[in-house]
Amino acid sequence: MKRVISFSLAMAIAVCMVIGSERRAWGYVDPGSGLIALQTVASVAAAYLYMVRRKIGGFFKRKKADAVVVPAASEPRETREIA
């Protein structure tokens, strides 16, 4: 949880820095640029969900108690072979 908060705070600071340092651009912006930005955001979100799917799935599944296996006692055997 600490990492998520730290990452969120870092991303918020980065966005504020980008917005705060914005300058006017007198260049041409392609109409498809917004779609590329949207695709980037969607792919990052999909990758994040893919990476944490086990944690999400493990949260909803019940864990079974591990069975303790005790080996049965056996009689000592001779290690020498009779020829």
Nearest to 4 by CA among 59, 58, 60, 52: 52
End-to-end CA, the chain? 69
pTM above 0.85, yes or no: no
Mean pLDDT of the chain: 77
The predicted pLDDT at position 35 comes to 85
